[in-house]
Amino acid sequence: MANNHQLLDLDVAALGELYRRREVSPVEVTAAYLDRIEQTEPKINAYITVTADLARAAAQAAEREMAADAYRGPFHGVPTALKDLCYTRDIRTTGGSKILADFIPGHDATVWTRLREAGAILLGKLNLHEFAAGGSSNNPHWGPVHNPYDLDRIPGGSSGGSAAALMARSALAAIGTDTGGSIRIPAAVTGCVGLKPTYSRVSRYGVIPLSYSVDHVGPMTRTVRDAALMLNVIAGPDPHDTTSSSIPVPDYTRELEAGIKGMRVAVVRELATQLATEVEKSFKSALKTLEGLGATVEEVSIPFLATSAASTARTMIVRAEALEYHERWLRERASEYGPDVRALLEQGMMVSASNYVRAHRVRALMLAETERTLEKYSVLISPACKITAPKIGEDRVRMPSGETLPVLAALVALVAPFNATGQPAIAVPSGLSTDGLPISIQFVGRSFDEATVLRVAYAYEQARGSFPFPKI
């Protein structure tokens, strides 16, 4: 039907249509993706493990099922990759670390169980910032992941391999995790769509933790519709994860095309300051687009979100909970950690029990203040990151004011607050900078109202038009 280039350009929804019309086969599509991985990996380094033989076998099984009209749904035959925090039975799961370099789990993560049962085809396990504890994906053990829009730049982190594979067209869908922006930062600087669902909406069973009360698992895709389709598969209660919610899961695609006329969208003043010039310009353009779609856009203030107390509280919680998981390894194998991850874990030793409890109280105040605002508005909006992708190894970035910021601070400042609150948030591309780097916006919604977040993001995405793939 189509050449490899055309197959790789398809999104999940479009590929599903071709499968249903029997114009293309899963074997053909999977072969195209495996060829693409072989072509791009020397440049991108998005994968730690490629499961080529398993992918071919799964594709053949999917082809037989489709020939028998046993169609499993929109993810049947979709070439998918997992951040290498997700357990995969009998397949190496490293966490991007040296410590787990040879770890082979005996069971699957729930997210992969659900995707596999929906017919997804596993291409492999994706590179990441070691143990998901950073924002660059400069991995000291498995090598840095490169941004496909500029190979000298980072893809963000910690789910950098997930974003890079999507936009290098070496995966059609991917799973990421998000503890301080680790889905949305890579999506923002690498040009894909990244959805952090509400805390507890998606099971974390079988996913190596960073911070058990702040970790989220979610879809990374090329389009908003694909994110909705993927969330339909992976969301829902799980008896293996006692924190997973029993709130019913809707069909997240049902209201995607309902439009946003009459909706109220809140620009959070504290999250729209000190931006790179082109990020600010793209953000203002996005606001005009939303107004053109019939939404009312108003500025609001949520002062507590941007305070040092809020930032410190989230950081304390993450460090303390990360230490709890890593304590034995840190004691016995400290030299096997990368220096930045080791430093983060050692800082966890300095968080007292009383400060940990206080941090959770601050977190509750953040959620209450944000939910009060969302009683009056459908969604909040902000840029996703203050900057575009920095160069690999760059530690600080100069802002238009002349002030220099740590790169990590410029990447996490606008996304991390919603890990503390647990509310759903999505990063969607809004354009390219003059040097060809992706810029993105973020929509945030009420807890368990992913449907509205996706609806607004979809309306914006459709008005924006198609987003260009990198020339790689």
SS (H, E, C) 233-302: HHECCCCCCCCCCCCCCCCCCCCHHHCCCCCEEEEEHHHCCCCCHHHHHHHHHHHHHHHHCCCEEEEECC
- Phi, psi (degrees; rounded to nearest 5) at 311: -65, -45
Determine the pLDDT at residue 141: 99
- Give me the residues paired with residue 438 across strands: 432
Helix (H) or strand (E) holding 216: strand 216-221
CA-nearest of 195, 217, 175 to 81 is: 175
Q: Are 134 and 157 in contact (CB under 8 A)?
A: yes
Q: What is the pLDDT of residue 5?
A: 74
CA distance 155 to 162: 9
Sequence-distant (6+) residues with CB within 8 A of 251 are 232
Q: What 8-state DSSP symbol labels residue 150?
A: B
User: Which residues does the annotation mark as catalytic?
Assistant: 83, 158, 182
Taking the C-alpha atoms of residue 145 and residue 81, their distance in angstroms, rounded to an integer, is 15
Residue spans per domain, the chain: 1-302+365-472
Q: What is the pLDDT tens value at each position of the chain, 472 positions in all?
A: 467 779 999 999 999 999 999 999 999 999 999 999 999 999 999 999 999 999 999 999 999 999 999 999 999 999 999 999 999 999 999 999 999 999 999 999 999 999 999 999 999 999 999 999 999 999 999 999 999 999 999 999 999 999 999 999 999 999 999 999 999 999 999 999 999 999 999 999 999 999 999 999 999 999 999 999 999 999 999 999 999 999 999 999 999 999 999 999 999 999 999 999 999 999 999 999 999 999 999 999 999 888 888 999 999 999 999 999 999 999 999 999 999 999 999 999 999 999 999 999 999 999 999 999 999 999 999 999 999 999 999 999 999 999 999 999 999 999 999 999 999 999 999 999 999 999 999 999 999 999 999 999 999 999 999 999 999 9
Tokens of 164: 């890079």
d(CA 348, CA 319): 4
What's the pLDDT score for residue 4?
78
- Block residue for tokens 């005009």: 288
Q: Are strands 438-444 and 425-432 parallel, antiparallel or unpaired?
A: antiparallel
Residue 443 contacts residue 426 (beta carbons within 8 Å): yes
Which pLDDT belongs to residue 3? 72
Residue 125 φ then ψ, to 5°: -115, 135
d(CA 282, CA 269): 16
CB-based contact 447:423 (threshold 8 Å) = yes
β-strand partners of 296: 264
**Residue 393 φ/ψ region, left for φ over 0, alpha for ψ in the -120 to 50 degree band, beta for the rest:** left
Q: What is the pLDDT of residue 314?
A: 96
Q: Which CATH architecture has domain 1-302+365-472?
A: Alpha-Beta Complex (3.90)
Contact 126, 110 (CB under 8 A): no
Say how far apart CA 265 and CA 254 lie, in whole Å.
Answer: 21
Q: Give which of 82, 105, 355 is closest to 220, Cα–Cα.
A: 82
Q: Is the peptide bond before 137 cis (omega within 30 degrees of 0)?
A: no
Partners of residue 175 on adjacent β-strands: 82, 219
Q: Phi-psi bin for 358: left (phi > 0), alpha (psi -120 to 50), beta? A: alpha
